[in-house]
Amino acid sequence: MQYVHLGRSGVRVSRLCLGTMNFGPHTSETDSGQIMDRALELGINFFDSANVYGWKVGEGVTEQIVGRWLAQGGGRREKVVLATKVYGRMGDWPNQSRLSALHIKRACEDSLRRLQTDYIDLYQMHHIDRDCPWEEIWQAMEQLCREGKVLYAGSSNFAGWHLAQAQEAARSRHFLGLISEQSLYNLLERTIELEVIPACQAYGIGIIPWSPLARGLLGGALNQSASGRRAEEDVRKDIELHRQKLEAYEQWCRTLNAEPAAVALAWLLQQPAVTAPIIGPRTMEQLTIAMRSLELTLTAEQLKALDAIFPGPGGAAPEAYAW
């Protein structure tokens, strides 16, 4: 396993991050535990969750599954860099969502209880809260850090200017601020190349791409049976929308004798500022395929070929659209 620093921080994480969103809704607790055990055996030390995962309001189903796994001991907690998120709705009352200091404090305490741990390594804001001032957000995060309940802060789904705003506010408070940004990023969706990636590079923020396989579209969707998540109506529509690109992509992957999922992850691993794509295996087989991405190094010509199939926005702003 390869390890790198998470952004400009001193903490080192595996180049693949184990996403747990499927644990509960799509993967049984038994199978989830086996996947986490195997990931740890393979050297994956970066696990990502969120208080809303499990999709039962207020229950934190996935965090509970991860917590029961951690509670088995055997050095699990000590080996894992544990990440979770705050923002989503955890109840029907006004202060049971978003990023007020009140909700951040209560949500953190609830996540600690569900995860059966006394600290969260990376506490991420799941979305920007445009109605909450940074002074309030950073005050709440600083307090959690002082109490030892949170070690690092991260963001998710932030625009480039949000990252700059957050970091400048943190700097004025002599606070470390964000060390990571979790963004939608894959061969099909490259918008963050315009401003998010440049902002992350400028501020030393590591990028943790979510949906690296574009909900399975980049995982060989054309050759898979229409079952399970593949049968979802919106996924079928996306397959038809991108069929020409996907056909070219899967054919190109066959020339490499490599699984499309592994190629898509390998491409991300070679992009600027990317720390670790988040893999969300529902099965052990998917975990095995994801691991093969670490053995793939794409040449300049191969990267150019992928750009031809999946054109990006043209690079960073403003040159992507102006001189």
- Residue 94 has φ and ψ, to the nearest 5°, of -60, -35
Q: Answer whether residue 265 is part of any domain.
A: yes
DSSP letter at 119? Answer: -
Q: Answer whether residue 316 is part of any domain.
A: no
Structure token pair of residue 192: 């963050």
Average pLDDT, the chain: 96
Range of the domain at 130: 3-309
What's the CATH code of the domain at 147? 3.20.20.100
Q: What amino acid is encoded at 278 in this protein?
A: I
- pLDDT at position 227 is 45
Interval 199-240: pLDDT, tens: 999 999 999 999 999 999 999 999 875 444 545 788 889 999
Q: Answer whether residue 321 is part of any domain.
A: no
Q: How many structural domains comprise the chain?
A: 1
> Can you point out the beta strands (E) in 45-105?
46-48, 81-86
Query: pLDDT at residue 58 above 60?
Result: yes
Q: Answer whether residue 322 is part of any domain.
A: no
- CA 26 to chain CA centroid, nearest Å: 18
Interval 137-192: pLDDT, tens: 999 999 999 999 999 999 999 999 999 999 999 999 999 999 999 999 999 999 99
Interval 22-47: pLDDT, tens: 999 999 999 999 999 999 999 999 99
Beta-carbon count within 10 A of 270 CB: 12
Is the sign of the CA dihedral 236, 241, 246, 247 positive or negative? positive
Rounded to 5 degrees, what angle do the CA atoms 166, 169, 171 make? 105
Q: What percent of the chain has pLDDT over 70?
A: 98
Q: Answer whether residue 229 is part of any domain.
A: yes
Strand partners, 192: none
Q: In the structure, what pLDDT confidence band is assigned to residue 193 with cuts at 50, 70 and 90?
A: very high
- pLDDT at position 231 is 54
Span 94-105, average pLDDT? 97
| CA separation, residue 106 to residues 109, 254, 293 (Å) | 5, 50, 38
Q: Answer whether residue 13 is part of any domain.
A: yes
Strand partners, 51: none
Which member of 3, 53, 87, 185 is catalytic? 53
Q: Answer whether residue 315 is part of any domain.
A: no
Sheet strand arrangement including 206-207: 206-207, 178-182, 150-156, 120-125, 81-86, 46-48, 17-19, 278-279
Q: Answer whether residue 212 is part of any domain.
A: yes
Query: pLDDT at residue 55 above 60?
Result: yes
Structure token pair of residue 65: 């599954």
Active site (annotated) includes residue 53:
yes
- pLDDT at position 230 is 46
Query: pLDDT at residue 121 above 80?
Result: yes
Beta-carbon count within 10 A of 53 CB: 26
